[in-house]
Amino acid sequence: MHDPRELTEEGSEAVRRLARRRFAFDQEAFTAAYRRRAASQTEVTRLRTEANEAARARKKAGGPPTEQEKETARDLRAATQRAEAAARSAEQEFEALALGIPNFPLDGVPDGASEKEAVEVRRGGPPITPTGFEPRHHADIGEDLGVLDSKAAARLSGARFSLSRGPGARLERALTDFFLDLHTREHGYTEYAVPYLVNRETMTGTGQLPKFEEDLFATTVGDRELFLIPTAEVPLTNMVAGQTLDARDLPYAFTARTPCFRAEAGAYGRDTRGVLRLHQFEKVELVRVCAPEDAQAQLELMVGQVEECLRRLELSYRVVLLPAGDLGFSARMTYDIEVWLPGGDAFREISSVSDCGTFQARRAGIRHRTADGRKGPAATLNGSALPVGRTVAALLEQGLQADGSVVLPAALVPYTGFRRLLPGGGTAED
């Protein structure tokens, strides 16, 4: 959410900046709604003040009220109730508009509307080299190794679910433990175990609602409406919702391993095989909360931490800067880290690391107090580090050998107990 003054000021940059995101901002309609809200709140305040003054005058006068005074009091109560109803309506109208406006892209973000306009920043990991044999899709590799069973998943839940078994399930558990150990022991994050079901207010605080309601899984039990989290960013960021943080304690660094649930309503027909686009997957998430002036430095730090995961897993990857038109709703700047998938002869996103500036903090009421006592919204950042399924896909495709086995990175051996996956479900230590 933005400071409304940025959106209503004539000649402001709001229209231009939002146009870079391909968002047509109707400044006139927004300003009118903003003024209606302000006017309705002013009217409520005026009527309540008038009622309070009349009550004080009646008390001072003493004795029973006259019929005229009673009638005036009734009329004033009725007028106040009408004004309060109008104010609620104006507030709802304004909030519906305000909550639907995405974050401003930073001026350093390139122009463009899709991932095709992303700017490559650098590459990392081992160089991409020909394998000497035909690369294969991770779904086929996983089936031959006996670690992925797409048919069983489909029988249980339908399309876009995955089932791992034996060494495959062990590998997934190993990855989450490896990621959490790295981030907590070396990168300074505090690990949390968070709820997987959250309320509407929590989803609204980080920007998932109301914009992306069709992409969420929801449940209602009695009069309770709850949503399955699409990422641990939601509960982690909202842990400090409604709080004023001491700037001397910042930055906060949170991490959690959770399942993530996404309806993917707009993605039907894409990535229908394998584990790249599922309704349920596991992920380790990073969240940082800092002073606004530190956000850009924190973003670069987080990107480096994600890259460290990939370097230790010996995976080839690249970092790209997303264009303005491809940014997530709450982000003002995003780096995508894309891993090389030989089976598709392409780089594919494995992590997005985003600087949200004060956008989420304004929605969730996250403030910070500086040393001189000034208060203002904090800045929030988030990133995947890393999703389990896409990491498994990259390990299978990049680690494939001519004999059909898959060699895993040395960093995982303490967590898996094996170095090689063998066709048919076996493992080997070498």
* Beta pairing, strands 197-198 & 280-290: unpaired
Residue 181 reports pLDDT greater than 70: yes
Residue 265 lies in a domain: yes
Q: Among 249-258, 270-279, 361-370, which stretch is predicted with the lowest mean pLDDT? A: 270-279
Q: Which residues of 272-304 are buried (b: 16+ CB within 10 A; e: fewer)?
A: eebbbbbbbbbbbbbbbbbbeebbbebbebbbe
Tokens of 327: 């940014």
CB atoms within 10 A of CB 118: 22
pLDDT band at 159 (very low <50, low <70, confident <90, very high): very high
Q: Are residues 42 and 142 in the same domain?
A: no
Tokens of 222: 């009695």
**Best CA proximity match to 300, nearest among 111, 127, 21, 108:** 108
Residue 108 lies in a domain: no
Q: Are residues 269 and 240 in the same domain?
A: yes
**Best CA proximity match to 91, nearest among 139, 136, 135, 36:** 36
Domains contained in the chain, number: 2
Residue 104 lies in a domain: no
Q: Are residues 49 and 136 in the same domain?
A: no
Residue 302 lies in a domain: yes
Residue where one domain finishes, among candidates 56, 71, 99: 99
Residue 11 reports pLDDT greater than 70: no
Residues in the chain: 430
Range of the domain at 69: 4-99
What average pLDDT does range 345-372 have in this prediction? Answer: 96
Residues of the chain with pLDDT > 70, as a percent, come to 98
Is 262 among the residues known to form the active site? yes
Partners of 315 in beta bridges:
none
Q: Are residues 45 and 76 in the same domain?
A: yes
Taking a C-beta distance cutoff of 8 angstroms, is the pair 334, 124 a contact?
A: no
Q: Are residues 151 and 240 in the same domain?
A: yes
Q: Among 3-12, 252-261, 305-314, 340-349, which stretch is predicted with the lowest mean pLDDT? A: 3-12
What average pLDDT does range 278-295 have in this prediction? Answer: 97
What average pLDDT does range 281-305 have in this prediction? Answer: 98
Please report the pLDDT score of residue 266 as a whole number. 57
AA letter at 106: L
Please report the pLDDT score of residue 372 as a whole number. 87
DSSP state of 66: P
pLDDT band at 394 (very low <50, low <70, confident <90, very high): very high
Q: Are residues 198 and 151 in the same domain?
A: yes
Residue 109 lies in a domain: no
Residue of 21, 160, 262, 363 marked catalytic: 262
Taking a C-beta distance cutoff of 8 angstroms, is the pair 423, 145 a contact?
A: yes
pLDDT digits (tens, 9 = 90+) for 191-214: 999 999 999 999 999 999 999 999
Residue 141 reports pLDDT greater than 70: yes
Residue of 164, 352, 354, 384 marked catalytic: 352
Q: Are residues 85 and 174 in the same domain?
A: no
Is 288 among the residues known to form the active site? no
pLDDT digits (tens, 9 = 90+) for 54-98: 888 878 888 788 888 888 889 999 999 999 999 999 999 999 999
Partners of 130 in beta bridges:
none
Q: Radius of gyration over alpha carbons of the chain, in Å? A: 27
Q: Are residues 123 and 94 in the same domain?
A: no
CB atoms within 10 A of CB 409: 17
Residue 159 lies in a domain: yes
Please report the pLDDT score of residue 12 as a whole number. 74
Residue where one domain finishes, among candidates 41, 66, 99: 99
Residues of the chain with pLDDT > 90, as a percent, come to 86
| 3-class SS of residue 99 | helix
Helix pair 388-399, 167-185: axis angle to 10 deg: 110
Residue 265 reports pLDDT greater than 70: no
Residue 360 reports pLDDT greater than 70: yes
Is 390 among the residues known to form the active site? yes
CATH number at residue 23: 1.10.287
Number of H helices, E strands in the chain: 13, 17
- What is the average pLDDT value for the chain, to the nearest integer? 94
CATH number at residue 218: 3.30.930.10
Question: How big is the CA angle at 285 (ends 112 and 290), to the nearest 5 degrees?
Answer: 75
Residue of 58, 170, 277, 420 marked catalytic: 277
Please report the pLDDT score of residue 3 as a whole number. 87
DSSP state of 63: S
Residue 408 lies in a domain: yes
Please report the pLDDT score of residue 115 as a whole number. 86
Q: Are residues 9 and 120 in the same domain?
A: no
pLDDT band at 269 (very low <50, low <70, confident <90, very high): low
- Residue 352 phi/psi, 5° resolution? -120, 130
Residues 6+ apart with CB under 8 A from 30: 7, 8, 97, 98, 101
Residue of 354, 390, 405, 419 marked catalytic: 390
Q: Are residues 223 and 91 in the same domain?
A: no
- Stronger pLDDT, 47 or 270, i.e. the higher one: 47
Residue 267 reports pLDDT greater than 60: no
What average pLDDT does range 142-168 have in this prediction? Answer: 96
* Beta pairing, strands 367-369 & 244-246: parallel
Residue 239 lies in a domain: yes
What average pLDDT does range 318-322 have in this prediction? Answer: 98
Taking a C-beta distance cutoff of 8 angstroms, is the pair 292, 106 a contact?
A: no
Residue 380 reports pLDDT greater than 70: yes
**Best CA proximity match to 357, nearest among 83, 105, 140, 44:** 105
Q: Are residues 415 and 320 in the same domain?
A: yes
Residue 36 reports pLDDT greater than 80: yes
Residue of 165, 349, 367, 420 marked catalytic: 349
Taking a C-beta distance cutoff of 8 angstroms, is the pair 110, 117 a contact?
A: yes
Residue 279 reports pLDDT greater than 70: yes
Taking a C-beta distance cutoff of 8 angstroms, is the pair 364, 330 a contact?
A: no
What average pLDDT does range 274-301 have in this prediction? Answer: 97
Is 349 among the residues known to form the active site? yes
Tell whether the torsion through CA atoms of 50, 52, 53 and 54 is positive or negative: positive
Q: Are residues 121 and 71 in the same domain?
A: no
Residue where one domain finishes, among candidates 51, 67, 99: 99
